[in-house]
């Protein structure tokens, strides 16, 4: 597999994402929650790094994303920012920091921006949170929307199944997508929806649409880095997930060899001591 030749080393901005959509260049996006992963991703040439609240599952071992707090997201966001020079960094606003209260939403947004140095924020939902989106945008903070499967609403949905298969839900999603664009969002994530719906929304909107399980006709793709690296358990195998490595096996092998070397006195050897 040959690497994509990055020719433009300037900082990625929301404006540049819009230009990429206009010229039909696909946008690459992956998650990171810490300095080391963010630095490797940035040096690999990724366009966008998402400090996702999926840190709740991946980093903290929670079943849902709901336990994440502002402090957690600020910690992860600030760690990621230290490792990034080029990529656009988006931080997820955590559950409870913006829903149903636009004053709280603005205060939460300002804290994340001030304390992480991130470029922009992502919020889940459409019409229900539009007041919060508008308020945050009014402070000059770029916002990305997130529709379809929105994990912070898992208790309402009840399952992680594909969303918007039914006409009524698909129509609401299209309406919400336009609402977010009209409010001034710079981009939109569509999660786990039929590919035809992903294609339709992408065609109708001027802002870039990034898919995760939303088909190939969107403007870019996002995956959870730990999933595509094969670090997370194989029991999580949605159709949209392509595993590019089996790091879990590689790590297990390295750990087992280390344990053996320590137990047998093979580590450290003469060159590894003072
Ligand atoms: O939190 C996250 O990682 C996300 C992606 C799945 C889009 O929101």
Give the helix/strand (H/E) hosting 50.
strand 48-51
CA distance 91 to 54: 11
The answer, yes or no, to whether any atom of ligand 1 lies below 6 A from the CB of 220, is: no
The 3-state DSSP class for residue 203 equals helix
**Ligand 1 midpoint to CA 34 (Å):** 15
Asked whether the predicted pLDDT for residue 1 surpasses 70, the reply is no
CA distances from 95 to 64, 79, 131 (A): 10, 20, 16
Residue 6's pLDDT is 76
* 148 shares its domain with 273: no
* 262 shares its domain with 149: no
Residue 114's pLDDT is 98
* 179 shares its domain with 251: no
* Cross-strand bridge partners of residue 147: 190
CA distance 34 to 57: 14
Structure tokens at 22: 């206009």
- Contact predicate 131/102, CB 8 Å: yes
Show Cβ contacts of residue 67 under 8 Å, excluding neighbours closer than 6 positions.
Answer: 56, 60
* 62 shares its domain with 142: yes
* 254 shares its domain with 132: no
Total domains, the chain: 2
Model confidence pLDDT, tens digit, residues 112-169 = 999 999 999 999 999 999 999 999 999 999 999 999 999 999 999 999 999 999 999 9
Tell me the catalytic residues: 191
Instruction: Give the residue, 234 or 55, on which the prediction is more confident.
Output: 55
CA distances from 220 to 15, 144, 181, 248 (A): 15, 14, 17, 27
Q: How confident is the model at residue 2 (pLDDT cuts 50, 70, 90)?
A: low
The answer, yes or no, to whether any atom of ligand 1 lies below 6 A from the CB of 56, is: no
* 252 shares its domain with 153: no
* Full-model pTM: 0.97
Residue 201's pLDDT is 98
- Contact predicate 191/176, CB 8 Å: no
* 256 shares its domain with 201: no
Mean pLDDT, the chain, whole residue set? 97
DSSP string spanning 225-256?
HHHHTT-S-TT---TT------HHHHHHHHHH
As a whole number of Å, the CA-based R_g of the chain is 20
Show Cβ contacts of residue 234 under 8 Å, excluding neighbours closer than 6 positions.
Answer: none
* 255 shares its domain with 161: no
Model confidence pLDDT, tens digit, residues 27-79 = 999 999 999 999 999 999 999 999 999 999 999 999 999 999 999 999 999 99
* 29 shares its domain with 102: yes
The answer, yes or no, to whether any atom of ligand 1 lies below 6 A from the CB of 181, is: no
Residue with the nearest Cα to atom 5 of ligand 1?
A: 52
164: containing domain = 3-243
* 261 shares its domain with 219: no
Q: What is the CATH number of the domain that holds 170?
A: 3.20.20.60
* 168 shares its domain with 253: no
* 138 shares its domain with 195: yes
The answer, yes or no, to whether any atom of ligand 1 lies below 6 A from the CB of 73, is: no
- Contact predicate 22/97, CB 8 Å: no
Residue 179's pLDDT is 98
Asked whether the predicted pLDDT for residue 238 surpasses 90, the reply is yes
Residue 4's pLDDT is 81
């Amino acid at each position: 597999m040959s690497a994509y030749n990055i020719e433009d080393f300037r900082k990625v901005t929301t404006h540049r994402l819009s230009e990429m959509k206009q010229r039909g260049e696909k946008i690459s996006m992956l998650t990171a929650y810490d300095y080391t992963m963010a630095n490797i991703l940035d040096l690999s040439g990724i366009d966008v790094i998402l400090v996702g609240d999926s840190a709740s599952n991946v980093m903290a071992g929670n079943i849902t994303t709901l336990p994440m707090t502002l402090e957690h997201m600020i910690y992860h966001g600030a760690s990621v920012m230290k490792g990034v020079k080029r990529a656009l960094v988006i931080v997820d606003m955590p559950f409870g920091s913006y829903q149903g209260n636009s004053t709280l939403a603005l205060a939460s947004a300002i804290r994340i921006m001030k304390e992480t140095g991130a470029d922009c924020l992502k919020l889940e939902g459409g019409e229900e949170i539009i007041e919060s989106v508008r308020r945050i945008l009014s402070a000059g903070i770029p916002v990305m929307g997130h529709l379809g499967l929105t994990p912070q609403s898992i208790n309402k949905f009840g399952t992680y199944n594909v969303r918007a298969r039914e006409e009524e839900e698909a129509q609401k999603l299209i309406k919400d997508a336009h609402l977010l664009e009209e409010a001034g969002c710079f981009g939109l994530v569509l999660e786990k929806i039929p590919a035809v719906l992903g294609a339709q929304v992408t065609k109708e909107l001027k802002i870039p649409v990034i898919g995760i399980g939303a088909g190939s006709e969107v403007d870019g793709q996002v995956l959870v880095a730990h999933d595509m690296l094969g670090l997370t358990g194989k029991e999580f195998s949605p159709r949209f997930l392509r595993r590019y490595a089996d790091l879990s096996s590689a790590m297990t092998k390295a750990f087992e060899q280390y344990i053996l070397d320590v137990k047998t006195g093979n580590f450290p050897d003469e060159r590894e001591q003072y």
